[in-house]
Amino acid sequence: MPDFQTLLIYIIPLLFAITIPQAAHGWVASKLGDHTASMLGKVTLNPVKHIDPVGTILVPLLLLITSIGFVIGWAKQIPLNSRALRPKRAGIILVALAGPGANFLLAIGWLIISNFAPSGTVLLKMTAFGIYINILLAVFNLIPIPPLNGSRVISELLPGPLSYKYNQLEQYGFFIVLGLMFLGAFKYILLIVFLVLDFLSIFSQINLVQFVIINVFS
């Protein structure tokens, strides 16, 4: 179980990793013709605007406290009027990919900061966790299970009738994800995450895989 100081190190990267992708969804949507999120003030880097008390705070903290290593969470969903997107089908795909894309960019941002952080400091630990959580959420959200972002891409690539049936899985999506988690299927996601972290460690002063194993899984 992480101590209070460690939890504070995790909170800032976790908060931005969960909320900023929502702003990215809204920003891309506005560029493609749907200004709904923009008019509601949701296209902002202020994470407070996107916080969901349960998904952004309670669930991630409980997962961190249990030290299972797999941390997920969610923010308030950005409203989307897909009929306003031009082109519609490609627009939906681009809006969906904006979230994982933002997570990857945040990971790169933390990676750059990590090279300026003094060795052994709180800041270095924060940047390492920031890289990890953003890569994890990016990979996780690309899973093609409704309503995750990956499913939006698949849905738009399927023929109409198949897309409709596929989208019906959304009402069971949360339970499917939980079931897969407890069955251990997400070890394959962590494998992908660790491969990415191992590669990014080349550009960092810290071994990211070793950091995650020691500080997140223990």
Per residue in 105-151, pLDDT (tens digit) is 999 999 999 999 998 888 999 999 999 999 999 999 999 999 899 99
What is the radius of gyration, based on Cα positions, of the chain?
Answer: 18
Residue 130 belongs to some domain of the structure: yes
* Whole-number Å distance between alpha carbons of 13 and 20: 10
Q: Are residues 77 and 26 in contact, defined by beta-carbon separation less than 8 angstroms?
A: no
Is pLDDT of 73 > 80? no
> Which residues touch 128 (CB under 8 Å, ≥6 apart)?
110, 114, 204, 206, 208, 211, 212, 215
pLDDT-above-70 percentage for the chain: 94
CA distances 76 to 51, 52, 205, Å, are: 6, 5, 35
Name the residue with higher pLDDT: 64 or 127. Answer: 127
Parent domain of 86: 4-142+186-215
pLDDT at site 84 = 93
What mean pLDDT is reported for the chain? Answer: 89
In one letter, which amino acid is 65? Answer: I
In a domain, 51, yes or no: yes
Query: Among 9, 218, 3, 209, which residue's Cα sits nearest to residue 127?
Result: 9
Residue 153 domain-assigned (yes or no): no
All residues at 6 or more sequence positions from 73 whose CB lies less than 8 Å from its CB, including other chains: 14, 18, 55, 56, 59, 60, 137
> In total, how many domains does the chain have?
1
Residue 171 lies in a domain: no
Q: What is the pTM of this model?
A: 0.90
Is residue 164 in a domain?
Answer: no
Positive or negative, the CA dihedral 121, 126, 132, 135 is negative
| Mean pLDDT, range 42-57, rounded to an integer | 84
The tokens for 176 are 């499917």
